[in-house]
Amino acid sequence: MNEPRRVEHQQTDKGYVPVYTTDVVEQPWASYTATDHDVWRQLYERQREILVGRASDEFLIAQDAMGMTPDAIPKFTELNTVLRAATGWEVIGVEGLLPELTFFDHLANRRFPVTWWIRTPGQLDYLAEPDLFHDLFGHVPLLMNPLFGDYMAAYGRGGVKAHGIGPEALVNLTRLYWYTVEFGLIKQKDGLRIYGSGIVSSKGESIHCLESPAPNRIGFDLERIMRTRYRIDTYQKTYFVIDSFAQLIEATEPDFTPIYARLATQDSFPAGTVLDGDQVFHRGSGAGWLNDGDI
């Protein structure tokens, strides 16, 4: 595999992170080695086995419909034929994390940036920054879903707007991304399931988020999420649960401008906080989940 071009490192609220060129790059597919393809295969097979019964039906159906397989690292050009026809989205190759405004602009125009390089065999369980496996396996399948695809594009437009309002608005909006796109859970008929990309691309967190008694699982509440800080160095202390992608779209439809203004005068909460009024989900005695409203 070619070397990714890191430009410099920078201290940000996500830690000391590498800064990459913001250029769109062609996926250097021919440069992937047998080891790279093997890392993809191992991660793909391991995650699919864990995710059947844990990831949302929408995610699993979309992933199959895209034609991703464990056999080899997919070619972006081939995925794009399917993706464009389904929802108008396409994947573009990038070196790594992008500056916020560049990222929002891509999303608003239905371009999802995917890091072209993949982790090494020594990094199967954890990597501090997004790589091809996280971006492609984790984020791209749900872009096949019309509702989720609309949500992501709306998020991009909202990001451009928040960027114009100021850094505090961006902090609030980024928490929404974190607790939905990256670490969201969804309530299905038969219990809680995963749809967040940060979870589906992690073996440990895919099990932890549903099976561990430790984290809170709280019903989606927009302003509550925007006030909740998050951890980047551990499994999440709190997951927020949506009823459906339609609920997510409906709840995020209103103009956020007055919400940002209101939140600017309010405190944020540590990641693990449970508040009066939170709709907390508890594991039921059988397969199901209950929340306070059901008891």
In the complex with Fe ion, which residue's Cβ is closer, 56 or 197?
197
Question: 100 is written with which tokens?
Answer: 């916020």
Return the one option of ligand PHE, Fe ion, none that residue 196 interacts with (CB less than 5 to 8 A, by type).
none
Q: State in angstroms the smallest separation of the CB of 196 from Fe ion.
A: 9
d(Cα 59, Cα 143) in Å, to the nearest integer?
9
- Residue with the CB atom nearest Fe ion in the bound state: 197
C-beta of 43 vs 222, nearer to ligand PHE: 222
Tokens matching residue 293: 């409203």
Tokens of 176: 């929404």
Nearer to ligand PHE, 172 or 206 (CB): 172
Q: Least distance to ligand PHE from the beta carbon of 246, Å?
A: 13
State which residue, 255 or 267, has the beta carbon closest to ligand PHE: 255
When CB distances are held under 5 to 8 angstroms depending on the partner's kind, the choice from ligand PHE, Fe ion, none that residue 161 binds is ligand PHE
- Please, which residue, 39 or 152, has the CB nearer to ligand PHE? 152
Closest approach of ligand PHE to the CB of residue 256, in Å? 3
Q: How far is the CB of 112 from ligand PHE (least distance, A)?
A: 15
Strand-pair partners of 126: none
CA 62 to chain centre: 15
Give least dist CB 166 to ligand PHE, A: 13
CA nearest 91: which of 110, 119, 63? 110
158 binds, among ligand PHE, Fe ion, none (CB under 5 to 8 A by kind): ligand PHE
Using an 8 Å Cβ cutoff, are 39 and 119 in contact? yes
**Considering the complex, what minimum distance in angstroms separates the CB of residue 164 from ligand PHE?**
10
| Contact residues for Fe ion, defined by CB under 5 A | 197
Smaller CB distance to ligand PHE: residue 179 or 239? 179
Query: Rounded to whole angstroms, how far apart are CA atoms 177 and 196?
Result: 10
Nearest to 256 by CA among 219, 218, 220, 226: 226
Show the 3-state SS of 272-285. CCCCCCCCEEEECC
Which of ligand PHE, Fe ion, none binds 255 (CB below 5-8 Å, type-dependent)? ligand PHE
Contact partner at residue 8 from ligand PHE, Fe ion, none, CB < 5 to 8 Å by partner kind: none
Candidates 184, 169, 291; CA nearest to 236 is: 184
What residue 256 binds from ligand PHE, Fe ion, none (CB within 5 to 8 A, per partner kind)?
Answer: ligand PHE
CB of 109 to ligand PHE, least distance (A): 15
Footprint on this chain of ligand PHE (rule: CB under 6 A): 151, 154-155, 158, 161, 176, 252-256
- Orientation of helix 146-165 relative to helix 76-87, angle to 10°: 90
CA distance 94 to 116: 6
Q: Which is nearer to ligand PHE, 253 or 276 (CB)?
A: 253
In the structure encoding, which two tokens stand for residue 137, read together?
Answer: 């396996």
- Please enumerate in sequence order all residues whose Cβ is within 8 A of that of 12, keeping only pairs 6 or more positions apart, or say none: none
Residue 88 Cβ vs ligand PHE, minimum distance, rounded to whole Å: 17
> How buried is residue 268: exposed, middle or buried, by Cβ count under 10 Å (0-12/13-18/19+)?
middle
Residue 71 or 250 having the CB closest to ligand PHE: 250
